[in-house]
Amino acid sequence: MSYKIPEQTRIGHVHLKVSNITKSLDFYCELLGFELITMYGDSAAFISAGGYHHHIGLNTWHSKDAPPAPAHGVGLFHTAILYPTRKDLAIIFKRLMDAEYPITGASDHGVSEAIYLDDPDGNGVELYVDRPKELWPKNEDGTIKMFTRQLDIPSLLSEMDK
Other C-beta atoms closer than 10 Å to the C-beta of 79 total: 18
pLDDT of residue 66: 96
Reported confidence tier of residue 71, pLDDT bands at 50, 70, 90 = confident
Reported confidence tier of residue 1, pLDDT bands at 50, 70, 90 = confident
pLDDT of residue 104: 98
Task: Round to whole Å and give the CA distance between 116 and 104.
Answer: 5
Phi, psi of 90 (to 5 degrees): -60, -40
Mean pLDDT of 57-69: 96
Fold of 11-64: 2,3-Dihydroxybiphenyl 1,2-Dioxygenase; domain 1 (3.10.180)
Delimiting residues of CATH 3.10.180.10 domain(s) in the chain: 11-64, 78-162
Type of residue found at 110: G
% of residues, the chain, pLDDT over 70: 100
Q: pLDDT of 92-118, one tens digit each?
A: 999 999 999 999 999 999 999 999 999
Point out the least confidently predicted range of 53-57, 72-76, 124-128.
72-76
Name the CATH superfamily housing domain 78-162.
2,3-Dihydroxybiphenyl 1,2-Dioxygenase, domain 1 (3.10.180.10)
Average pLDDT, the chain: 96
pTM of the model: 0.94
